[in-house]
A and B are shown apart, each in its own frame.
Chain A
Amino acid sequence: MSGEVLEGRAHKVGDHINTDLIIPATYLVSKDPVELGCHLMEGLDPDFCSRVEAGDIIVAGYNFGSGSSREHAPVAIKGAGISCVIAASFARIFYRNSINVGLPILESPEASAAVSEGDLLMVDLSSGIIEDVTTGESFEVPSYPEFMRKIMDAGGLIEYRRSELSGG
């Protein structure tokens, strides 16, 4: 996922957006990203999903993805066409789930505070630069630790472990 430049409109959400809001538990009987994506943020706003266009970006406050360990949350976000999530901070399990399933996530309290609903954003994953094209502001995000980059470069945790299992 490194090396890509993402472009999309910002959808702002608040602090403590938990996984029950991202994908209510009643829908956890599907493994299909598109089906799960149809219910994205339904706990917060039943119309959220209908406003999302492919490539759009969620910009959240503190503690995004708290609560349940359900990996269906980052899967639903990807399935709805969201290209990445920027948050002031992430909950622990959501953070590792996103890395494991290849959903780019960037921690930036500054961008979280400055970006407005509907702003056009460009995110350069390799340099860690978030640009708010609407306002002209830009924000730099510290790079991922090397261990996590290895997982992401391998294409996720399963591919990373596969290369280990095969002695690669």
Chain B
Amino acid sequence: MSQSRRILAVHAGRESVSPGELIDVGVDLVLANDITAPLAIEEFNKLGVDVFDKSRVVLVLDHFTPNRDIASAEQCAFVRRFALEHRIEHFYDGGEVGIEHVLLPEEGLIRPGEVVIGADSHTCTYGALGAFATGMGSTDIAAAMATGKAWFRAPEAVLINVTGKPGPWVGGKDLILHLIGVLGVDGATYRSLEFTGDGIAELSVDGRLTAANMAIEAGAKNGLFPVDRPVVEYLEGVGVKVAECALEPDEYGYVGEMSVDMVSLPPQVALPHLPSNTVAVGEAPRVKLDQVVIGSCTNGRMEDMRVAAELLRGRRTAPQVRLIIIPGSPRVYRRSMEEGLFDIFLDAGAVISPPTCGPCLGGHMGVLASGERALSTTNRNFTGRMGHRESEVYLSNPAVAAASAVSGTITDPGELR
């Protein structure tokens, strides 16, 4: 079995499951946010039961918070009442809010071998820590909140063999943008992306979280990394004690195998309007940028803040470029402040936002006007994703984003003066 199906089989009380089987699976953690929880709660209330486990339901008010408008305030109030009434142990509100997929790993809520479902498509992030994690809709989440179960179609797996040490300014974002470019936005639909190879050891845990986060952008059900020494140490740091666990080969074979040599991979940029429109940064058009966003569930972690600061130190953003930096969680926020990164960001002319999904989905805190162009470390560059239908979003890693904020156009960080 693939590692993904192995985890599902254990949670279905089965010896094994074959690809394509429809199975009912016990879930370890059920997540929703201020956009998806209201619908889930409405459906949940129809069942007239309590939640299956108050410690295994997680609610994070992260998308349109701090409240954007009256309508979003009402949604948050609705979720808040539910969380208090049902004594949800992991309810994140106010100053405890982080972007969910940055926050949950830091909170020690993600454990290898567990099954995590979330009413958010980027729930697949947690595969970087060896969990089977996938996004679903509100009704699936409602049913799981009540029963602790969800149905799955057991996925085939695609094996991704990562080799070599990445060059400067290259990381997990470039690995996954490159893969999406090769696979296409539906190239892995219904499938697991399972990562293996000696190149994984060269990727930080933050970089792996970034890569797993965007597995959905190739249509994948989940992405999964081995639990090696760095993951074990990361988890120890957040109070979770586990053993290392390699990915064992799938005896059914893989439906696809791909290799990525990180040594020769340049920083990647996805051009509008699909994440699969990837080119090397040097081949990206030299468009004039109006806004640069560094943050999100994809790139709002400590490594991302440090990389951005390294390039922004002693430099200023180009005239008419609005640079918005969004530390992804209260921990990332505080640590960035303690390390002096906020001084660098402010001196560079950046706006520092509280942790929120905000501009990534055109919610608030940096919405684009018609004709405007943004370079963003987020995960989607669909038409209108960050604002007006006639705006454009380019995707990149934080180093390219920071360098481009300084030059005013899409720029290879290695060439920044």
Binding site for B on A (CB under 8 A): 16, 18, 20-21, 24-26, 28-31, 43-44, 46, 62-63, 66-72, 75, 89, 91-93, 96-97, 100-101, 145, 147-148, 151, 156-158, 161-162, 164-165
B417 within 8 Å of A by Cβ? no
How many B residues, CB 8 Å from partner?
Answer: 50
Identify which of A20, A30, A93, A164 contacts B384 (C-beta below 8 A): A20
**In the complex, how many residue pairs between chain A and chain B have their CB atoms under 8 Å apart?**
133
**Bound Cα distance from A151 to B358, whole angstroms:** 35
B139 and A100 form a contact (CB under 8 A):
yes
B35 within 8 Å of A by Cβ? yes
A157 and B135 form a contact (CB under 8 A):
no
- Chain B 367-392, CB-CB to A under 8 Å as 1, else 0, gives 00000000000001011110001000
B140 and A66 form a contact (CB under 8 A):
no
B136 and A165 form a contact (CB under 8 A):
no
Residue of A nearest to B75 (CB): A29
Q: A20-B380, A72-B39 are in contact. Are A101 and B139 (CB under 8 A)?
A: yes
A18 and B382 form a contact (CB under 8 A):
yes
B42 and A31 form a contact (CB under 8 A):
yes
B47 and A165 form a contact (CB under 8 A):
yes
A92 and B189 form a contact (CB under 8 A):
yes
A25-B385, A70-B35, A71-B137 given; 8 more Cβ-contact pairs under 8 Å: A29-B71, A46-B389, A63-B185, A63-B219, A68-B120, A69-B119, A71-B39, A156-B139
| Min CB–CB distance B201 → chain A (angstroms) | 31
What are 6 A-B contacts with C-beta separation under 8 Å? Answer: A24-B384, A68-B120, A71-B39, A97-B139, A151-B151, A161-B146
**Bound Cα distance from A55 to B408, whole angstroms:** 49
**Bound Cα distance from A102 to B69, whole angstroms:** 31
Q: Which residues from 109 to 138 on chain B have a C-beta closer than 8 Å to any C-beta of chain A? A: 118-121, 123, 135-138
- Chain B 131-161, CB-CB to A under 8 Å as 1, else 0, gives 0000111111011001101010000000000
| Min CB–CB distance B381 → chain A (angstroms) | 10
A20 and B382 form a contact (CB under 8 A):
yes
A165 and B147 form a contact (CB under 8 A):
yes
B39 and A31 form a contact (CB under 8 A):
yes
**Bound Cα distance from A148 to B42, whole angstroms:** 22
Note all chain A residues with C-beta closer than 8 A to B221.
Answer: 92
A165 and B146 form a contact (CB under 8 A):
yes
**Bound Cα distance from A100 to B63, whole angstroms:** 24
Binding site for A on B (CB under 8 A): 22, 35-36, 38-39, 42-43, 46-47, 49, 63-64, 69, 71-72, 74-75, 118-121, 123, 135-140, 142-143, 146-147, 149, 151, 185-186, 189-190, 219, 221, 274, 361-363, 380, 382-385, 389
| Min CB–CB distance A49 → chain B (angstroms) | 14
A96 and B137 form a contact (CB under 8 A):
yes
B38 and A31 form a contact (CB under 8 A):
yes
B383 and A16 form a contact (CB under 8 A):
no
Note all chain A residues with C-beta closer than 8 A to B22.
Answer: 145, 147-148
**Bound Cα distance from A151 to B153, whole angstroms:** 14
B186 and A62 form a contact (CB under 8 A):
yes
B35 and A91 form a contact (CB under 8 A):
no
A66 and B185 form a contact (CB under 8 A):
yes
**Bound Cα distance from A46 to B383, whole angstroms:** 13
**Bound Cα distance from A96 to B150, whole angstroms:** 11
**Bound Cα distance from A31 to B380, whole angstroms:** 24
Note all chain A residues with C-beta closer than 8 A to B136.
Answer: 69, 93, 96-97
Identify which of A28, A44, A46, A147 contacts B151 (C-beta below 8 A): A147
A164 and B147 form a contact (CB under 8 A):
yes
| Min CB–CB distance B3 → chain A (angstroms) | 19
Note all chain A residues with C-beta closer than 8 A to B75.
Answer: 29
| Min CB–CB distance A105 → chain B (angstroms) | 13
Q: A63-B189, A63-B219 are in contact. Are A69 and B143 (CB under 8 A)?
A: no
A21 and B121 form a contact (CB under 8 A):
no
B64 and A29 form a contact (CB under 8 A):
yes
Note all chain A residues with C-beta closer than 8 A to B151.
Answer: 147, 151
**Bound Cα distance from A31 to B186, whole angstroms:** 28
B186 and A157 form a contact (CB under 8 A):
no
A71 and B36 form a contact (CB under 8 A):
yes
Note all chain A residues with C-beta closer than 8 A to B74.
Answer: 29
**Bound Cα distance from A21 to B137, whole angstroms:** 17
Note all chain B residues with C-beta closer than 8 A to A72.
Answer: 39
A66 and B137 form a contact (CB under 8 A):
no
Note all chain B residues with C-beta closer than 8 A to A148.
Answer: 22
Note all chain B residues with C-beta closer than 8 A to A26.
Answer: 362-363
A93 and B383 form a contact (CB under 8 A):
no
Identify which of A24, A62, A100, A164 contacts B140 (C-beta below 8 A): A100
Note all chain A residues with C-beta closer than 8 A to B71.
Answer: 29-30
Q: A70-B36, A70-B137 are in contact. Are A16 and B385 (CB under 8 A)?
A: no
Residue of A nearest to B32 (CB): A69
Note all chain A residues with C-beta closer than 8 A to B69.
Answer: 29
| Min CB–CB distance A79 → chain B (angstroms) | 13
Q: Please provide the 3 A-B residue pairs with the shortest distance between their CB atoms, ordered closest to farther.
A: A29-B71, A97-B137, A71-B137
A67 and B39 form a contact (CB under 8 A):
no
